[in-house]
Amino acid sequence: MNEKIHWADAKASRVPADRHQLIATGITPSGPIHLGNMREVMTGDMIYKALKSRGVDAELVYVADDFDPLRKVYPFLPDSYQKYIGWPVSDIPCPCGKHKSYAEHFLEPFLSAIEELDIHPRIVRTSESYRSGMFTEQIRAALEHAEEIKGILERISGRKLEEGWTPYYPICEKCGIISRATILSHDPEKHTVTYRCSCGHEGVSDYSKGEGKLVWRVDWPMRWSVYGVTIEPFGKDHASPGGSYDTGTYITKDIYGYEAPIPVTYEWISLKGRGEMHSSKGVVLTIRDMLDIVPPEVLRYMIAKTKPDKTIAFDPGMGLLRLIDEYDRAAASGESREYELSVIASPQTTIPFRHMVTVVQIAQTDDGIFDILKRSGYEIVDESAVLDQANRAKMWLERYAPEDVKFAIQPALPEVAAAEPANVKAAVAAYAAAVSAGDWKADVLHNSVYDAAAGAGITGKELFTAVYRAFLGADRGPRLGWFLEAIGREATLARLNEMTA
């Protein structure tokens, strides 16, 4: 076991072991919940698992901020959603018509994905918390201490708030938006405020029924006290000096008599060539997108191996293959805490993903995949797991693979191979003779190239190129020995003999 303490264990060691710990994560489901958002919930889950491994009574909660307003018509929405700007996302119709709300349209696939990632939090929807009356007394306290809260925000954030600022935004009963309305009066006994919306409507908002919500910088610390949050991961934007965590620590203590949770600030995950992921900008790679390609344990490993305060630059192309290779090495060694925190009890294969990428480009059928793998010496224990991995490899090839990784075996000898000079064809013939009767193993097939090339007076590179041309009509391809091992002895020798006939 690696003696270096893992970051999740370091965070877990900071909290008292003799009291209940509640780790809260969450996001507003206003758009596709992407790979960058996954870092928050997975960071929380790894700390939760580290606490449980220490025998600490702990719980993981995912807070879906579905009572937040729709900020704008995002690129993935039709113009018809203009009329819903400012509405709680829990009250907006589903874009596809299959979910009960706009929020659930984005939340449902995310919750399904994190189940696959072995993350099983208690789900809390803020719309339900507000409308059940859970926050009634806390909203009343915020309204009664509005001037004190305003002073905290101005002092800590360094910005001046407008006259008549209020911590409570009613939902206008006429236009439906969460309104920065003018509060005309407050009746703490009835839990109501009278307001004048920017649309001109004057009405009454009953906050015990969820007819309004607190502004973010008050809502967040209020929730800490109600839910009993003791640890919370959040993005670097909230951690800046004077930011929402700084102001929240004072508000939760001075207004609600509660100590702020231990912060775990995380950096963003950027998408290679496209910058930080943002749903609103269309720079998105959803967790579902990745789980179509990458086993869930590899995604967990990516988060586990990197400290939260370090940026992750994610490359879904060749970088993804390198990540899978790294995970396979960690799994084989079994010595890293990163691997332990990424283990998921699900069917796995022992087939390297890189090899499967080659196999699926050679095989024409599922049976062909199994034939190639058996020929390569792999024992098939779970056929469904193998086909699952094969489908991931196909999707990776279709969506993210660089062009130089893709290949197609030509149905007939390519003209470029038939036109090779006599000395190169002689080397190909010598190579075919050398491997025809020996062990049909990748390393043997690969290394035999050099002896055959030397015997014919050409370079190894020239012979490699000639063999690739015979099958692909291209100068390069996957590692030759593993490629030919997958094709099989009979098909390989038939093509090489055709080339030299």
Question: Helix or strand or coil: residue 428?
Answer: helix
Helix (H) or strand (E) holding 266: strand 262-266
Listed range (110-114, 212-216, 242-246, 287-291) with the worst mean pLDDT: 287-291
Say yes or no to pLDDT of 387 above 80. Answer: yes
pLDDT band at 280 (very low <50, low <70, confident <90, very high): very low
CA angle 368, 403, 315 (to 5 degrees): 100
Say yes or no to pLDDT of 5 above 50. Answer: yes
By CB neighbour count within 10 A (0-12 exposed, 13-18 middle, 19+ buried), where does 394 fall? middle
Question: Helix or strand or coil: residue 265?
Answer: strand
Distance CA 169, CA 181 (A): 6
**Percent residues over pLDDT 70 in the chain:** 96
pLDDT mean across residues, the chain: 93
Say yes or no to pLDDT of 279 above 60. Answer: no
pLDDT tens readout for residues 236-254 = 999 999 999 999 999 999 9
Say yes or no to pLDDT of 260 above 90. Answer: yes
The mean per-residue pLDDT over the stretch 283-301 comes to 85
Max distance between CA atoms of the chain, in angstroms, equals 99
* Global model pTM greater than 0.85: yes
pLDDT of residue 332: 85
Distance CA 450, CA 467 (A): 13
Q: To 10 degrees, what angle do helices 318-333 and 353-362 make?
A: 130
Helix (H) or strand (E) holding 196: strand 192-196
pLDDT of residue 274: 55
pLDDT of residue 276: 53
Say yes or no to pLDDT of 1 above 60. Answer: no
The mean per-residue pLDDT over the stretch 354-383 comes to 92
Listed range (108-122, 220-234, 344-358) with the worst mean pLDDT: 344-358
The mean per-residue pLDDT over the stretch 451-480 comes to 96
pLDDT tens readout for residues 72-104 = 999 899 999 999 999 999 999 999 999 999 999
pLDDT of residue 282: 47
The mean per-residue pLDDT over the stretch 7-35 comes to 92
The mean per-residue pLDDT over the stretch 311-326 comes to 92
For residues 270 and 432, the model is more confident at 432
Question: Helix or strand or coil: residue 440?
Answer: coil
Nearest to 95 by CA among 37, 26, 32: 32
Say yes or no to pLDDT of 373 above 50. Answer: yes
For residues 284 and 208, the model is more confident at 208
Distance CA 69, CA 88 (A): 4
pLDDT of residue 33: 84
The mean per-residue pLDDT over the stretch 401-418 comes to 94
Distance CA 227, CA 217 (A): 16
pLDDT band at 277 (very low <50, low <70, confident <90, very high): very low
The 3-class SS string of 3-41 reads CCCCHHHHHHCCCCCCCCEEEEEEECCCCCCEHHHHHHH
